[in-house]
Amino acid sequence: MKVKKLLIGRDLKAGEFEFELKGTEDNVHQVKKNAVNGDVIFDTIEYTKVGTYHYMITEKDTKLQGVIYDKKVIKVTVTVTDNSSRILETKGRYDQDVKAFENSYTLPATPPKKGLPKTGTAVHYLAIFMDMILLVGAVYFIKKKISLEVEA
């Protein structure tokens, strides 16, 4: 089984998106990543009995910044038959014509900042230092004034 990954707004990188293949009857579960060309190819599934098997392919939201993820579910039905030579044959059918997941990317308005910004710490210490100088100066002048009054 194979699906396609499309990304609108920037170039697609290999391995940046993940897809799950889940089976309803036999619980086959595979997780695959996209190739640089957008192909997502799941491993071949071996069948041991005749029947109809249903699968769902979904994209995992890996929380990439600026990416809006496609929420669609692509359903695949595989029919296994026994030919006249007693060999099992498979025929896969997608329930929709669309076999691609299409995401869009928008550049963030402001680039993300690393760490927290330092806000006002230098100004805060400067204000305390200036207040201390004023206080020391005021005490000095008051003492000088008192000592001048005592001498007079």
pLDDT, one tens digit per residue, over 39-79 is: 999 999 998 899 999 999 999 999 999 999 999 999 999 99
Distances 137 to 123, 130, 140, 141, 142 between C-alpha atoms, Å: 21, 11, 5, 6, 9
Q: What is the pTM of this model?
A: 0.67
CB 4 within 8 A of CB 40: yes
pLDDT the model gives residue 118: 66
pLDDT the model gives residue 3: 95
Distance (Å, whole) CA 7 – CA 11: 7
pLDDT the model gives residue 71: 94
pLDDT the model gives residue 107: 86
pLDDT the model gives residue 26: 57
3-state SS assignment for residue 95 = coil
pLDDT the model gives residue 125: 72
- Domain borders along the chain are 2-105, 113-152
pLDDT the model gives residue 6: 96
Low-confidence ranges of the chain (pLDDT < 70): 25-26, 28, 111-112, 117-123, 151-152
102: phi then psi, degrees, rounded to nearest 5? -120, 115
pLDDT the model gives residue 147: 76
Residues 6+ apart with CB under 8 A from 9: 66, 104, 105, 106, 107
pLDDT the model gives residue 120: 59
Q: Which fold has domain 2-105?
A: Immunoglobulin-like (2.60.40)
